[in-house]
């Protein structure tokens, strides 16, 4: 074995040299790795014994891309193009041996090798789009030459990790090799290449798979149209399409210049900076200062759920999707049947959309059992309560669960805003009680707020975090406060949105501003979707708010065809003259003057109080770091990732400006409003908030 540098070795197997990369955790192409590969390839090329080279990685994965932490400064030589030229122009065959994930720059380097072999479990992808980037090491040019323009577009625009088995069929992988024999099989493959005197295949020279796109003049327009809605506000998807256009219209080297120019532009764009921040923020959430890795966890193999309503059914699907058996308990047969029917319908629509096979759905449905007997939960490892949002009902359920469910098992509530300490206090196991706040629809939304009470044990928290990972959620640990992180900030926004209606703005004026900012919808469209009658009671309704008046007129949201908006049969919203009249009449009765509110004022009054609330959440140590708040808003409420979350956004505006504007708006922000001392202090010191971490 020859050590090339700290992270690469050259190992010889007869006349094949294995260039072994060992740079944990994911073999990212850092400067040391790039340097090591170039030096290793050169050494192997100079060595007359060597007839072929295999590029292979140690650890859990092939190279997972460029080292994102190096993006802040100019890349030290050798950069990607120099590295790739050394590989592609090598005079001896180079074979990439892929396991784990070959992603981004990692796949791009593999595409410069003359051949690629992979184990069937390997996956490959160009996920740069999630970082606000395009593949910037030739991926936009080489991938379409191997798999065709449409497939390459799909991979680059979705960023998905595609199984090696699929890529073998598409032609990007030359051979699949047995799972546990990658090294030997790759050496054997390289030997065969040498024996056969096979050509040194350069992907850049291929052209055939570009023909179809050249012949289809409507391809790119159709692509743009298809992604328009989903990628609103993001820049990278459009740039990926431009690179593909270049691939089919320009010679390779010219098209590479287009890719390089667009990549460089994106690398310094505010969108990519924000998305790279989000990438690391989403990995930080799992690190909890007072709960170190290795904290003992409880085995969780059987789940119980109480309540088969909107949330209970979705939560059951989350666990069944991960292969865990679930027992759902309802109060009556009708509600149980209704709940299970919704679950089945959701799965059926997954079959229709080609997401799941009928067999997979049958397996998942078989894991979900419905019953009216709370006693059936006796041997559950975790029970999640999802009954009505009412403290006494929840306490009653917890008292019963505490008596029935085996000692040590965790009891969780899905409450949106109630005090979980008060729920825990009715049990004899408060250390095993916590909040698992799923977001609606629970089977779709990635966010899970894991709520710790004053008494939740570290082991219960560690168990919940591990379980969250297992069911594919992104979990953020939060403390108890009304609404926790997400809803508490949402309330702050909603209060202002409601206030602005009384000052002269219409629901659609406010919604439009937030939609244009990048949110999927504004507060009033969201209210119509959820139902205006959530928590509304016909008997006690007193026309005291605009919302109450709408409910009294049976304008209860999308489900009744009218709420703040009017809806057609396809649930398309239109501003409603009736709502406008209701609001104007309501405001007239209050005797308040109205005025025109600017889009800027609407934006500031919706977002800055949220930022202020976020700062208070930090002051109260409800979260351990500011970036956790951003992860909540991106994954739970659709805050645009290219704006990095509310706390990150605050720093792009400047805390000084945020505080100044809050002071300016203060007379309109309500009697209870106050500016967070932390926010004031950071603003006065010229500091940033999104990087704030609290010591325990
Ligand atoms: N650069 C730097 N660090 C990286 C990294 C990268 N490309 N990919 C992962 N890491 C770090 C993570 O931050 C994390 O660090 P931590 O332990 O200190 O928090 C650690 O590696 C492990 O990562 P995960 O927790 O994400 O591990 P998983 O096993 O869950 O997932 C993975 C592994 C699928 C490889 C996932 O890490 C991933 O998707 N990585 C990013 C892949 C990517 O986006 N590649 C493209 C980069 S841009 C590029 O290549 C540009 C090129 O076109 C020029
Ligand atoms: P829901 O009204 O759709 O469902 C509640 C279900 O609980 C009903 O089917 C009811 O029959 C059942 N139930 C009531 N008492 C019961 C008992 N004692 N035993 C067994 N079943 C009982 O309510 P939803 O929307 O599912 O909400 C449930 C909880 O989740 C609430 O605490 C809510 O605040 C919270 N939540 C709701 C979200 C939403 O968007 N709907 C989002 C996040 C949390």
Q: Is residue 151 part of a domain?
A: yes
Average pLDDT over residues 500-507: 98
* Paired residues of 9 in beta bridges: 3, 20
- Are residues 100 and 23 part of one domain? yes
How far apart CA 436 and CA 315 sit, in angstroms, is 10
- Are residues 30 and 123 part of one domain? yes
Cα 269 to averaged position of ligand 1 atoms, centre (Å): 20
On the question of pLDDT at 279 being above 80, the answer is yes
Q: Is residue 498 part of a domain?
A: no
Tell me if 33 CB under 6 Å of ligand 1: no
- Are residues 214 and 192 part of one domain? yes
Tell me if 104 CB under 6 Å of ligand 1: yes
Query: What tens digit of pLDDT does each residue of 473-493 get?
Result: 999 999 999 999 999 999 999
Query: CATH number of the domain that 381 lies in?
Result: 3.40.50.720
- pLDDT for 533 equals 93
Q: Is residue 555 part of a domain?
A: yes
Cα 467 to averaged position of ligand 1 atoms, centre (Å): 21
- Are residues 108 and 238 part of one domain? yes
- pLDDT for 512 equals 98
Kindly provide the b/e burial profile for residues 135-159, where b requires at least 16 CB atoms within 10 angstroms of the residue's own CB.
Answer: bbbbbbbbbbbbbbbbbbbebbbbb
- Are residues 216 and 136 part of one domain? yes
Query: CATH number of the domain that 542 lies in?
Result: 1.10.1040.10
Residue 419 phi/psi, 5° resolution? -80, 110
In the chain, the percentage of residues whose pLDDT exceeds 90 is 98
Q: Which ligand is nearest to the CA of 312?
A: 2
- Are residues 529 and 642 part of one domain? no
Cα atoms found within 13 Å of the Cα of residue 661, Cβ hemisphere only: 20
Q: Is residue 187 part of a domain?
A: yes
* Residue minimizing CA distance to atom 28 of ligand 1: 26
- Are residues 563 and 644 part of one domain? no
Query: What tens digit of pLDDT does each residue of 404-429 get?
Result: 999 999 999 999 999 999 999 999 99
Query: What tens digit of pLDDT does each residue of 148-173 get?
Result: 999 999 999 999 999 999 999 999 99
On the question of pLDDT at 1 being above 90, the answer is no
Residues 6+ apart with CB under 8 A from 184: none
Instruction: Write the DSSP string, 246-314.
Output: HHHHS-HHHHHHHHHHHHHHHHTSHHHHHHHHHHHHHHHTT-BTTB-TT--------EEEE--SHHHHH
Cα 287 to averaged position of ligand 1 atoms, centre (Å): 16
Cα 64 to averaged position of ligand 1 atoms, centre (Å): 6
**Is 619 tagged catalytic?**
no
- pLDDT for 696 equals 52
Q: Which domain, by its residues, includes 637?
A: 599-685
Average pLDDT over residues 287-312: 96
* 458 neighbors 291 (Cβ within 8 angstroms): yes
On the question of pLDDT at 264 being above 80, the answer is yes
Tell me if 376 CB under 6 Å of ligand 2: no
Query: CATH number of the domain that 199 lies in?
Result: 3.90.226.10
- Are residues 81 and 200 part of one domain? yes
pLDDT category at 535 given cuts 50, 70, 90 is confident
pLDDT category at 694 given cuts 50, 70, 90 is confident
In the chain, the percentage of residues whose pLDDT exceeds 70 is 100
Q: Active-site residue among 88, 128, 495, 601? A: 128
Query: CATH number of the domain that 666 lies in?
Result: 1.10.1040.50
Q: Which two tokens stand for residue 550?
A: 């709408």
pLDDT category at 380 given cuts 50, 70, 90 is very high
Q: Is residue 695 part of a domain?
A: no
Q: Which of 590, 609, 635 is the last residue before a domain boundary?
A: 590
- pLDDT for 72 equals 86
Tell me if 342 CB under 6 Å of ligand 2: no
On the question of pLDDT at 383 being above 80, the answer is yes
On the question of pLDDT at 695 being above 80, the answer is no
Q: Which of 571, 590, 609 is the last residue before a domain boundary?
A: 590
How far apart CA 256 and CA 254 sit, in angstroms, is 5
Question: Could you give the angle at which helices 219-227 and 149-158 cross, rounded to 10 degrees?
Answer: 20
Cα 128 to averaged position of ligand 2 atoms, centre (Å): 39
Domain count along the chain: 4
Q: Which of 590, 621, 638 is the last residue before a domain boundary?
A: 590
Q: Active-site residue among 35, 88, 108, 449? A: 108
- pLDDT for 570 equals 92
Average pLDDT over residues 439-465: 97
Q: Is residue 284 part of a domain?
A: no
- Are residues 519 and 453 part of one domain? no
- pLDDT for 615 equals 98
Average pLDDT over residues 449-460: 98
Q: Which ligand is nearest to the CA of 314?
A: 2
Average pLDDT over residues 83-100: 98
pLDDT category at 496 given cuts 50, 70, 90 is very high
- pLDDT for 641 equals 98
On the question of pLDDT at 143 being above 60, the answer is yes
Tell me if 393 CB under 6 Å of ligand 2: yes
- Are residues 520 and 475 part of one domain? no
Query: Ligand 1 pocket check: which of 21, 26, 33, 81 to mutate, most ligand atoms within 8 Å of Cβ?
Result: 26
* 629 neighbors 650 (Cβ within 8 angstroms): no
* Residue minimizing CA distance to atom 13 of ligand 1: 280
Query: What tens digit of pLDDT does each residue of 92-135 get?
Result: 999 999 999 999 999 999 999 999 999 999 999 999 999 999 99
Cα 409 to averaged position of ligand 2 atoms, centre (Å): 21
pLDDT category at 280 given cuts 50, 70, 90 is very high
Query: What tens digit of pLDDT does each residue of 25-71 get?
Result: 999 999 999 999 999 999 999 999 999 999 999 999 999 999 999 99
* Residue minimizing CA distance to atom 26 of ligand 1: 283
Q: Is residue 289 part of a domain?
A: no
Nearest-atom index, ligand 2, CA of 396: 18
- pLDDT for 547 equals 96
| The model's pTM | 0.96
Q: Is residue 363 part of a domain?
A: yes
- Are residues 564 and 452 part of one domain? no
- Are residues 50 and 177 part of one domain? yes
**Is 128 tagged catalytic?**
yes
Average pLDDT, the chain: 97
Which of 451, 469, 470, 447 has its CA nearest to residue 461?
Answer: 451
């Amino acid at each position: 074995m020859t050590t090339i540098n700290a992270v690469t070795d050259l190992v010889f197997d007869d006349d094949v040299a294995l260039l072994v990369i060992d740079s944990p955790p994911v073999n990212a192409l850092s400067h040391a790795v790039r340097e090591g590969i170039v030096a290793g390839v050169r050494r192997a090329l100079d060595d007359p014994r060597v007839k072929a080279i295999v590029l292979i990685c140690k650890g859990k994965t092939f190279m997972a891309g460029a080292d994102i932490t190096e993006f802040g400064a100019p890349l030290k030589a050798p950069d990607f193009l120099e590295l790739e030229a050394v590989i592609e122009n090598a005079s001896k065959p180079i074979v990439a041996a892929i396991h784990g994930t070959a992603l981004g720059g990692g796949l791009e380097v593999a595409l410069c090798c003359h051949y690629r072999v992979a184990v069937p479990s390997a996956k490959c992808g160009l996920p740069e789009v999630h970082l606000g980037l395009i593949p910037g090491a030739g991926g936009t040019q080489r991938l379409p030459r191997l798999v065709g323009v449409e497939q390459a577009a799909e991979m680059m625009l979705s960023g998905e990790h595609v199984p090696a088995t699929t890529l073998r069929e598409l032609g990007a992988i030359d051979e699949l090799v047995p799972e546990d024999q990658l090294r030997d099989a790759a050496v054997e493959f390289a030997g065969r290449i040498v024996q056969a005197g096979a050509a040194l295949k350069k992907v850049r020279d291929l052209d055939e798979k570009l023909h179809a796109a050249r012949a289809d003049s409507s391809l790119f327009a159709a692509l743009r149209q298809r992604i328009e809605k989903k990628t609103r506000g993001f820049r990278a998807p459009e740039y990926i399409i431009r690179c593909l256009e270049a691939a089919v219209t320009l010679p390779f080297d010219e098209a590479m210049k287009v890719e390089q120019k667009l990549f460089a532009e994106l690398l310094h764009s505010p969108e990519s900076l924000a998305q790279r921040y989000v990438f690391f923020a989403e990995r930080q959430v799992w690190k909890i200062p007072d709960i170190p890795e290795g904290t003992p966890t409880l085995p969780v193999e059987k789940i119980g759920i109480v309540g088969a309503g909107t949330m209970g059914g979705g939560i059951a699907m989350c666990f069944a999707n991960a292969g865990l058996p679930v027992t759902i308990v309802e109060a009556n047969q009708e509600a149980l049947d209704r709940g299970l029917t919704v679950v089945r319908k959701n799965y059926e629509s997954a079959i229709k959309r080609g997401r799941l096979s009928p067999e997979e759905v049958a397996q998942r449905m078989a894991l979900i059992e419905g019953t009216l007997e709370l006693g059936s939960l006796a041997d559950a490892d975790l029970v999640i309560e999802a009954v009505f949002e009412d403290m006494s009902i929840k306490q009653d359920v917890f008292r019963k669960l505490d008596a029935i469910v085996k000692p040590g098992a965790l009891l969780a509530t899905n409450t949106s805003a109630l005090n979980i300490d008060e729920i825990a206090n009715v049990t004899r196991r408060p250390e095993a009680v916590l909040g698992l706040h799923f977001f609606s629809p629970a089977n779709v939304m990635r966010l899970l707020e894991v709520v710790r009470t004053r008494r939740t044990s570290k082991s219960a928290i560690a168990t919940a975090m591990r379980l969250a990972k297992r069911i594919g959620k992104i979990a953020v640990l939060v403390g108890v406060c009304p609404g926790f992180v997400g809803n508490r900030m949402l309330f702050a926004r909603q209060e202002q949105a409601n206030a602005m209606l009384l000052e002269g703005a219409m629901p659609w004026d406010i919604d439009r501003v937030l939609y244009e900012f990048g949110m999927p919808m504004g507060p009033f469209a969201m209210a119509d979707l959820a139902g205006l009658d959530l928590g509304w009671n016909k008997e006690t309704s007193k026309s005291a708010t605009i919302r109450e008046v709408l409910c009294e007129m049976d304008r209860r949201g999308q489900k009744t065809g009218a709420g703040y908006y009017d809806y057609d049969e396809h649930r398309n919203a239109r501003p409603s003259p009736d709502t406008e009249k209701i609001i104007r009449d309501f405001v007239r009765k209050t005797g308040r003057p109205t005025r025109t509110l600017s889009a800027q004022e609407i934006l500031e009054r919706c977002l800055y109080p949220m930022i202020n609330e976020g700062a208070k959440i930090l002051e109260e140590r409800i979260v351990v770091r500011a970036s956790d708040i951003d992860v909540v808003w991106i994954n739970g409420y659709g805050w645009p990732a290219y704006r990095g979350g509310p706390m990150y956004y605050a720093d792009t505006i400047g805390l000084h400006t945020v505080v100044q504007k809050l002071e300016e708006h203060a007379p309109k922000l309500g009697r209870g409003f106050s500016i967070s001392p932390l926010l004031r202090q950071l603003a006065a010191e010229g500091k940033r908030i999104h990087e704030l971490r609290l010591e325990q």
